[in-house]
Amino acid sequence: MKKILSVTLALLLVMAMGLALAACTDTSSPGEPGGDSDNLFGPNDTITMAYLSYSMDIGWCVQVADAFEELAGAHNLNVHIFDGGFNPETQFNQLEQAIAMGVDVIALMSVDPGSAQAIADRLADAGILLLGETAAMRNADNHLVVPCNWLHGLSVGRLMTQWVVDNHARFGFDLTDFTNVGFMYITDTMFPEMADRAVGVEEVWFNNYPDFPRNQLFIGDRSAELESSNMEAGYNQTASILTANPQIETWYIISFQEDYASGACRAVEDLGLVDKTFLVSAGGENVIPEWDAGLTKPWYAANYFTGMDSAEIIVGAIEKILRQGVSPEDVYTDREPGNRFPYATFSGTMVSFEDYKSIIR
């Protein structure tokens, strides 16, 4: 189904591009935003931007949207927020709506990675700057089609797992005997950026515990429950694995998203396994109220990052390209071999219930 949606969206985009070209009386090729001093915005000029989110049902997208609106005043931005609703066709329609509105730049967390090239071509034809937000936008050759920033999944996975390795023993957990130990991570296999987190998690875990039985590694997949919220899916996936393996006495759980972790935490509580579970997550907003209330188990730590981390990278790129004339090809410092466009990453900071107040407040 996802492949069909990708092809459909790509075809729709190509058709829209054809209509736009047919309606255009200027047959010259549109210039790429940035690099032309005659077209730059002055410091007091307002730049109109659109943020096309993956879905505003995801707490992360809400954070990013809020951060853009918070930064708007200081950077003379007029910000429009769109909710992709997990739906490629919805996001395509929103893309066309943003073009019709005459926005200057679009920050996109794409619902359909398979249509990245078609989307980039559509925006280039419209003369609108496109920046990939949170996730990479790649073509069929796996090259970036626009400048992108993303949460560096490999680093996030490594950081979370290394924290478990380094800290579990001082909280009374034991990994000297694997007999009755279960290791679980909760992911979303439909979201490509999650795959690198899994690589980082398994790399660190099995490098430290090479003899850990592979059949005691469990994977909860949020995408198995598309009709559920993130929290419900986290609860259901965790509960089903825990109840199906009563022989496991001690659980180590790493959640790749904080909403999944909230659900997992409630499942652990409902099943009476709080003292036997060591839970760590990516994203920390949900756990802070719990820690503030004194609930420190089973959710011991989080790789903390916020939407502001991503929004600041995007707004910085907007300033450089549209106000300073930096080429989109040079706006970020990192570049993969053979790629025209660069990227930027962020990877969060590990915080625990013991130190979070000194780190994030």
Q: CATH code at 276?
A: 3.40.50.2300
Q: Is residue 248 part of a domain?
A: yes
Do 316 and 204 share a structural domain? no
Q: Is residue 206 part of a domain?
A: yes
Q: Is residue 3 part of a domain?
A: no
| Interatomic CA distance for residues 50 and 95, integer angstroms | 9
Q: Residue 222 burial (CB < 10 Å; 0-12/13-18/19+)? A: buried
- According to the model, what pLDDT value does residue 269 have? 98
Kindly state the tokens that stand for 27: 């047959």
Q: Is residue 243 part of a domain?
A: yes
- According to the model, what pLDDT value does residue 158 have? 97
Do 168 and 157 share a structural domain? yes
Q: Is residue 167 part of a domain?
A: yes
Among 55-64, 166-175, 262-271, whose mean pLDDT is lowest?
55-64
Domain boundaries, position 99: 37-146+307-348
Q: Is residue 360 part of a domain?
A: no
Do 326 and 201 share a structural domain? no
Do 299 and 168 share a structural domain? yes
Q: Per-residue pLDDT tens for 158-174?
A: 999 999 999 999 999 99
Contacts 24+ apart (CB under 8 A), 175-180: 175/209, 178/209, 178/211, 178/212, 178/213, 178/216, 180/247, 180/248, 180/249, 180/250
Do 258 and 318 share a structural domain? no
Do 208 and 71 share a structural domain? no
Among 9-18, 50-59, 339-348, 351-360, whose mean pLDDT is lowest?
9-18
Whether 301 and 163 have beta carbons less than 8 Å apart is answered as yes
- According to the model, what pLDDT value does residue 360 have? 83
Do 314 and 241 share a structural domain? no
Q: Is residue 196 part of a domain?
A: yes
Q: Is residue 17 part of a domain?
A: no
Do 162 and 295 share a structural domain? yes
**In whole numbers, what is the pLDDT of the chain averaged over residues?**
90
Whether 91 and 114 have beta carbons less than 8 Å apart is answered as no
| Interatomic CA distance for residues 196 and 154, integer angstroms | 5
Domain count, the chain: 2
Instruction: Name the pLDDT band for 58 (thresholds 50, 70, 90).
Output: confident
Query: Is the dihedral angle over the CA atoms 266, 267, 268, 271 positive or is it negative?
Result: positive
- According to the model, what pLDDT value does residue 83 have? 98
Phi and psi torsions of 160, nearest 5°: -60, -45
Do 118 and 174 share a structural domain? no
Do 273 and 140 share a structural domain? no
Do 159 and 300 share a structural domain? yes
Residue with tokens 């199906």: 244
pLDDT greater than 70 at residue 327:
yes
pLDDT greater than 60 at residue 54:
yes
Do 296 and 157 share a structural domain? yes
